[in-house]
Structure 1
Amino acid sequence: MSTTTGVHAMVRRTHEGRVLSALRAFGALSRAELAERVGLSRTTLSEITATLVKRGAVVVVDTDAALRRGSGRPAERLALDPAAGQFLGVDFGHRRVQVAVADASHEIIASGVERYDDGTGWTDRIAAALGLVDRLAREHGLHFGALQAVGIGVPGPYTRAGAGGAHITWKQHTAPDGVDAAFAERFGSPVMVDNNTRLAALAEAVSRPEPLSDLVYVRLSDGVGGGLVVAGRLVTGARGFAGELGHVTADPAGAECRCGKRGCLETVASVPAILTACRARGAGTDSLDDLAAAVAKHDPVVDAVLRDAGSALGRVLGAAAMALDPDEVVVGGEIVHVAPVVVEQAAATLRYEMYAIPAAEPIRVRAGRLRDSDGALGALTATFHESPLLAGYPETTAEEEPQRSAP
């Protein structure tokens, strides 16, 4: 694509964004009202709105006949199509894919999950994700002709191509077995890919009125991962490994990890590791539901396993907190709501690890506010590009804008 064409594409997207923002803020507007609010000529505005209507982002809702004075032909009024999925967030876990769809006002209009085996290949994982998107579209009456961007979280460690300081575009990111290409081909929209737990950290950081300046986040799920917010920015590191707490050694003589090392935190504090440890000690815990039932009954074996996992987690978090001195440490994942003792024990261990550090107040350790959808929500947040936490993140560029296929 030539530079001139790329600049035109970038300008067009900017105009479209301004029109969508005006409709989001003010509701239904005529083309004349839109032109006035966004500062575009009527000719340019007519071209932009025609494209948005054709794609399904905007619909004609009525005319201004009831509002206008005097004679003249009533003007059509345009509004955002509430059934248009404008942004798509996808979180690939080791054993499930989570999808969330947001409209132009950034409200979640559909979400769901599809499960698969840990050893499932990426071709089948991608097929499961696309099948889930199709199912959500049918169940909620959605369409994706107006899709602006797709955010995808993949299990880490995830290394970006070109990392190390040079500016890179989303198009240059290489996800496992072409996950980015598959979604770009299917939807004809810009695709962003990053580590799923880093995106979950983003979702947690912006889930409060004022985003945190410094945050350590760890998620206990099928695996264990983390994310770091440092000086108000979500960081990736020189090689894309920043926040990969699941592969910090918690027990040098421990079990072999999927990464090839021994005793990683993931082998102790992930959901499968906790369930396995409970079963090894005689507790019948094959699922999180079983674990929740055992916690409710105050099973001493389960409580001991959870406290061991929390202690290991606290030691790793203590080391990270000593290095970064964060405002908060957040522990996410469904298990922290099922078994809050994990967070309690992690907090107690972290306080012990940092006892010699004088401070006005201790570091706050809390359970994540979000549930298992946090990675998909973080992927959505990254596509919005509205959070100051994303300063320095690569922007989608016009040079390689994909051709939009028919919905």
Structure 2
Amino acid sequence: MSMTTGVHALVRRTHEERVLAALRAHGALSRAELAKRVGLSRTTLSEITASLLQRGAIIVADTDAAVRSGSGRPAERLALDPASGQFLGVDFGHRRVHVVVADASHEVIAEGVERYADDLPWAERLAIAFALIERVSLETGVHFGALQAVGIGVPGPYTGARGGMPVVSWKKQLAPEGVDVAFLERFGAPVIVDNNTRLAALAEAISRPDAVDNLVYLRLSDGVGGGLVIAGQLVTGARGFAGELGHVTADPTGALCRCGKRGCLETIASVPAILRACRDAGADVHTLDHLAHAVATGDPAVDAVLRDVGSTVGRVLGAAAMMLNPREVVIGGEIVRVAPVLVEQAASTLRYELHSIPSDQPHIVRAAQLHDSDGALGAIAAIFHQSPLLAGYPDPASSGESVPQQQRSAL
């Protein structure tokens, strides 16, 4: 091969990698959109995409007829072949594990959830997760033959990285430093592990057409956690505690928290704490379904509890927003769909807390767009580095080695 031919081949491969990376990052795109994102002329791009289509690396997914305005022939939208890769997101909550599988075209092709006791040993949680993944595979026909990477969310802050993997610093019943090894041995694919609520914040920040560059996220679930997006980046903090809003003291004389302090927001606004407060107020509420029924029937005791919790949440979020001045404040977790009054009260309290800040664009307080799969979807997003929010974030690692570029490019 002549030097000239070799250079041309290298340039062509580079162009192809840029096109494939853009499709991983943004999903289906028209040729015009691709040309803008990769900086190639339309003639060059046409040649590159024709070759990729012929080889089956990409497909014509659909047209832009549904989103275009004006007249003219709809443009084809190109996407990665969905069969070219699978990506597994796993979210270990305090009382449940949620798994989501996505293909290379950004489509969720399988998901499932399994609950467990909050004091279950970590080894048994792993066993439940693997059994759930196997069951999902049998039910959907997804066999992970093209699994490219695994993203895992776990509770707890992080103190650093070992071989590229963050390591948890507390909650001894969890051992996330063993999660990467267990999944690597099981699937042989690169693994990344991080705080599950931080990953949920990432999923919320990029779930809109325009990514939110300043966001405070609070998740009310079996526990309470948070995540921060500041100046366009997902923030971990010096020792991994950034966004741990669940352990901000909301009532110094309150109940003992599992972290050892008293009156943490988690002791007031977690789902178990809210259900317990409703029962203490005289309501027969033991599950979220019971709570939903009480809300629907206008139970005054439950309404009072939810408004009190919302006020407390609003004050904590107000303090965070006063310091960070986010564009949006998002409250997630199953309970926000069951009890919207909680979000409404939190928003009202937060507006009061921030009334002294002049702004021509008020803080937007909203319920999370995503459902209970937010942490698992965020784990998949972290695998693909699909957003500048992850600039400088640890790359997925396999046995301490960096992942090839085609596996850690953003979806």
Normalised to the residue count of structure 2, the TM-score between the two structures is 0.77
1:159-212 CA distance string (max 9 Å, x none): 3337xxxxxx53465652611110011111111111000000001001111111
The one-letter code matched in structure 1 to 2:211 is P
CA distance in 1, matches of 2:271, 2:198: 18
C-alpha contact 1:314 1:350 (8 A) present in aligned 2: yes
Quote the offset at 1:283 in angstroms: 0.6
The answer as to whether partners of 1:84 and 1:147 remain within 8 angstroms in 2 is: no
Contact 2:329 2:363 in 1 (8 A): yes
Per-residue displacement from partner, 1:95-129 (whole Å, max 9, x unpaired)?
A: 00000001111211011101001111110111111
Q: CA deviation at 1:264?
A: 0.2
Instruction: Report what 1:272 is aligned to.
Output: 272
Q: How does 1:243-262 map to 2 (within 5 A)?
A: 243-262=243-262
Mapped to 1, the partners of 2:228 and 2:387 lie a distance apart of 15
Write the mapping of 1:108-123 to structure 2, written as runs, cut at 5 A: 108-123=108-123
Q: Which residue of 2 aligns with 1:343?
A: 343
Superposition deviation, residue 16 in structure 1:
8.3
Q: Tell me if the contact between 1:20 and 1:104 (Cα under 8 Å) persists in the aligned partners.
A: no
Partner of 2:388: 388
Where does residue 236 of structure 1 map in the other structure?
236
Work out the CA distance in 1 between the residues paired with 2:109 and 2:18: 20
The answer to whether structure 1 residue 37 and structure 2 residue 48 are counterparts is yes
How far 1:345 sits from its partner (Å)? 0.7
**2:401 maps to which residue?**
400
For residues 22 and 276 of structure 1, the distance between their equivalents in structure 2, rounded to whole angstroms, comes to: 47
1:21–1:207 Cα change, 3 Å: closer
Match of 1:152 in 2: 152
Separation of aligned partners in 1, 2:197 and 2:375: 6
**Counterpart contact for 2:83–2:146, Cα < 8 Å:** no
Q: Distance in 1 between matches of 2:131 and 2:120?
A: 15
C-alpha change, 1:361 and 1:184, in structure 2 (3 Å) is same
The answer to whether the Cα contact below 8 Å between 1:158 and 1:240 also exists between their aligned partners in 2 is: yes
The amino acid of 1:37's aligned partner reads: I
Shift of 1:22: 7.6
The answer on whether the counterparts of 1:83 and 1:103 sit within 8 Å (CA) in structure 2 is: yes
Out of 164, 188, 192, the position equivalent to 1:170 is 164
Give yes or no for contact 1:250–1:265 (8 Å, CA) kept in 2.
yes
Q: How many residue pairs are counted as aligned between the two chains?
A: 350
Q: Which AA in structure 2 matches 1:170?
A: G
Shift in CA distance, 16/114, structure 1 to aligned 2, threshold 3 Å: farther
Deviation at 1:80, TM superposition (A): 6.9
Q: After superposition, where does 1:7-406 map in structure 2 within 5 Å?
A: 37=48, 82=82, 86-161=86-161, 170-171=164-165, 173=167, 176=176, 178-396=178-396, 400=401
Counterparts of 1:191 and 1:207, CA distance in 2: 23
Gaps of 5+ in 2: 1-12, 30-44, 60-78, 169-174, 405-411
More deviation, 335-344/17-26: 17-26
Residues in 1 aligned to 2:373 and 2:23: alpha-carbon distance in whole angstroms = 29
SS in 1 for 2:161: coil
How far does residue 304 in structure 1 lie from its aligned partner after superposition?
0.7
Tell me, in whole angstroms, the C-alpha distance in 1 between the residues paired with 2:161 and 2:121: 22
- The question of whether the paired residues in 2 share the 8 Å contact of 1:85 and 1:101 is answered with no
CA distance in 1, matches of 2:353, 2:145: 52
Q: 1:326 to 1:173 in 2, by over 3 A?
A: same
Secondary structure of the residue aligned to 1:359 is coil
Distance in 1 of aligned mates of 2:81 and 2:223: 38
Q: Note the alpha carbon deviations across 1:279-322, whole angstroms, 9 max, x for none.
A: 11111111000000000011010001101110110010000000
Letter in 2 for 1:386: Q
Partner letter of residue 357 of structure 2? I
- Is the contact made by 2:23 and 2:80 (CA closer than 8 Å) also made in structure 1? no
What's the CA shift string for 1:50-81, capped at 9, x where partnerless? xxx9xxx999xxxxxxxxxxxxxxxxxxx977
Instruction: Specify the SS of the correspondent of 2:147.
Output: coil
**What CA RMSD, in Å, does the superposition of the two structures yield over aligned residues?**
3.3
Distance across 2 between alignment mates of 1:211 and 1:384: 15
Cα deviation, residue 397, structure 1:
5.6
* Structure 1 CA distance for aligned equivalents of residues 288 and 248 of structure 2: 24
**Structure 1's 300 and 397: CA in aligned 2 closer, same or farther, altered over 3 A?**
closer
Corresponding residue SS for 1:279: helix
Rounded to whole Å, the distance in 1 between the matches of 2:304 and 2:203 is 31
2:349 maps to amino acid: T
**Aligned with 1:148: secondary structure?**
strand
Q: Do the aligned partners of residues 211 and 344 (structure 1) sit closer, same or farther apart at CA in structure 2, a change above 3 Å counting?
A: same
Distance 2:357 2:82 in 1: 52
Contact 2:152–2:191 (CA under 8 A) maintained in structure 1 = yes
Task: Say which SS state the counterpart of residue 331 (structure 2) adopts.
Answer: strand
SS in structure 1 of the partner of residue 218 of structure 2 = strand
